[in-house]
Chain A
């Protein structure tokens, strides 16, 4: 009997633990899909077996023999291992390992950990060589002594950088005109829509015709009304249209330590409130499970505003019926693959963007230079990344070569969306739009406005809440 009890108790414990784990696993499916995605992509990077680069193996190692890279997800890591590693300068890398320190971006966690590490760099034996920054806080690192001069110190030349979009260089140029980082991507935004719903509701799914129906917000809302009649949500949630407005502001969130809510941001609030009340969105928040569920081909959501990285990193893995980790293939017939299309949408905008910065105290300068050259300037590698990862790379020559070569995107049913992106990328201008505090302001503002959208209190209540939260997060700011 006692034996039976033990067996029962034990097996129940295992069962319970297993269900709990399964529960968490599925709730976090995007990240695991993304992992699987990258694991799949990284197969050509076999020589760089990740266990060679465990932190514990690096303890006490000579810092010049380790390239330390700080980032917040495995987007760069997978690109690095797939496109850079096979073409690296082996002489430079002789005996040198690399180590990725990946810290989640949410709630400023990445910035906080990175700052802690940077503050001790002057004395640390193990030096950071590269860290990545995002558009929402790029300016913070541009204006500091933590980033190395790309041209003067690391040694890239204007000629190396000539094919990059000017705006990607302008963002990373400090007040003295020093370039502090380079990017492999330009991030123009598009509207990606479900072609089946377009055909069903509008009667056609060709991008040019659909674009004509969506070319401004008034037309966009008219389509939303038609979608609603068929129980389809025009967009998934509150934050989907946010970047269309927040990246067209007339002034940044913060100027001289003072926070201002730009008229464009207020326009987003008014529009989203109207859409929520009219039932044109599904009341989801960015990245949550329900938001992802809408990206299935029968997910009852017409479209999503996405920048270039949104396709490979979010929409593609989320729309597959059988995910890659379950053995599904990226091919037509697997869920929504091939059933999405892209159009410019009602408003030109950009969203995100990642820059590679060298740390001011880096000790593997030549390797960092090699990484920057190959990962952001090399036309062939840039073209490969666009072909392989559907990313819009920051190299006009590479993109032009692809378009001239008759580029077709299978995920978008053979559409050439690069032409659209090129058009949008040329329009991006970030002058006077960014501040060092954007991540916290954006996250706190979207969070506070949810109460207003859901009908729990007025706009002024929500603004008051935003003010309290954001000034706790950034104590030096006032509003």
Chain B
């Protein structure tokens, strides 16, 4: 093919180089290392330290097959129990999150409702997302602590255990914080999707006598399905990595009864000593996340709109 026009394509690649260099050093290499360590019997004795023999407390017994994975699933890793806790915590936050986000997004974009002071409300609902998760966690911890301000209101002066001492109370608080932090973000995403829908569809539906409920289920939902799928799956991926909020509520052992212990808490507890075990758990999270990622792409492509969204990290 004869080249007559100037190609700017190479500049795209050149500008991408910094990203790939940084990605390789800070993400790809550790990722490969994690896979490597997950098959190695490798741990660190943190009960000793040395300046002149810095690696003297590392025990590396070489390849050990799937022993780390076995330990993670059936032994002290408690993989499936922690995965269950993580998913439950995520669901408690996500269900109200998607409900309120849809409701608010529909209200904000409704052509007949024309809500006033939208900018104000949009700012307000987004605000909790800006506050650090740990700050919110700490705040709720001191509110609900046994005989704390809210616990007293809820009858903490009786002998009843405080909310944070019960499994579902603690889960509820952590889920509520996640909901509060992320519903604003989701609302904005869904609003963008709804505003992308041709308003003439709504107008004609109204002329045909469709009720708001009908337009919602028959027009809005089918047309924002790809974005909904995107929200769902990015939130799931973020939810799998949930750590800071439940840690502030329940400590890294997941009090009560370890029912608040998420996968990342196990990783955080063991990362300085049980390297092989933690590597195995990380690899399993990676696999689950990868499957979810492929699902996103598939759902979006199936829609036929041809629009591919770049996956970006989201939480909640």
Contact = CB atoms under 8 A, between A and B. Distances in A.
A115 B49 contact: yes
A361 B257 contact: no
Contacts of B48: 140, 143-144, 436
A92 interface: no
Contact residues of B: prevailing secondary structure: loop
A454 B270 contact: no
B256 interface: yes
Nearest to B166: A456
Nearest to A24: B135
A393 interface: no
A472 B46 contact: no
Contacts of A447: 251, 253, 255
Contacts of B257: 451, 456-457, 461, 465
Contact of B258 (A16, A144, A455, A465): A465
Contacts of A153: none
Given A17-B131, A290-B147, A456-B256, A472 B269 contact: yes
B141 A27 contact: yes
Contacts of B251: 447
Interface string A74-116: 0000000000000000000000000000000001100110110
Contacts, number: 159
Interface string A362-386: 0000000000000000000000000
A146 B131 contact: no
B12 interface: no
Contact of B46 (A2, A21, A112, A143): A112
Interface size class of A (residues with CB under 8 A): 35 or more
B142 A27 contact: yes
A112 B52 CA distance: 17
A284 B273 contact: no
Contact of B256 (A26, A436, A451): A451
Interface stretch (B29-37, B119-127, B186-194): B119-127
A5 B255 contact: no
Interface stretch (A117-125, A211-219, A241-249): A117-125
Contacts of A21: 135
A382 B281 CA distance: 51
A16 B127 CA distance: 8
A118 B135 contact: no
B295 to A, nearest CB: 31
Nearest to B140: A23
Contacts of B43: 475-476
Nearest to A462: B257
Nearest to A457: B257
Nearest to A119: B54
Interface in B258-312: 258, 266, 269-270, 272-275, 277
Interface residues of B, number: 51
B270 A475 contact: yes
A28 interface: yes
A468 interface: yes
Interface string B139-180: 101100111100000000000010001000000000000000
A476 B273 contact: yes
A454 B161 contact: yes
A12 interface: yes
A5 B120 contact: yes
Contact of A115 (B46, B78, B139, B161): B46
A466 to B, nearest CB: 9
B272 A145 contact: no
Nearest to B43: A475
Contacts of B77: 472
Given A24-B139, A290-B146, A472 B127 contact: no
Contacts of B266: 472
B142 A12 contact: no
Contact of B138 (A9, A24, A146, A450): A24
B88 interface: no
Interface string A318-348: 0000000000000000000000000000000
B138 A28 contact: yes
Contacts of B269: 469, 472-473
Contacts of B274: 471-473, 475
A195 B131 CA distance: 43
A437 B252 CA distance: 18
Nearest to A27: B142
Contact of A474 (B46, B138, B147): B46
A56 interface: no
B145 A8 contact: no
A13 interface: yes
A20 interface: yes
Given A27-B141, A28-B138, A360 B127 contact: no
A28 B139 CA distance: 10
A283 interface: yes
A472 B54 contact: no
24 contacts: A12-B120, A13-B123, A16-B127, A17-B130, A20-B131, A24-B139, A121-B51, A122-B51, A140-B49, A143-B48, A145-B50, A146-B50, A254-B47, A290-B147, A444-B253, A448-B253, A450-B256, A454-B161, A471-B76, A471-B274, A475-B275, A475-B277, A476-B45, A476-B47
Interface of A: 2, 5-6, 8-9, 12-13, 16-17, 20-21, 23-24, 26-28, 107-108, 111-112, 114-115, 118-122, 140-141, 143-146, 254, 282-284, 288-290, 359-361, 435-437, 444, 447-448, 450-451, 454-457, 461, 465, 467-469, 471-476
The 10 closest A-B pairs by CB, nearest first: A475-B43, A27-B142, A119-B54, A436-B47, A475-B274, A472-B270, A9-B123, A23-B139, A468-B76, A475-B273
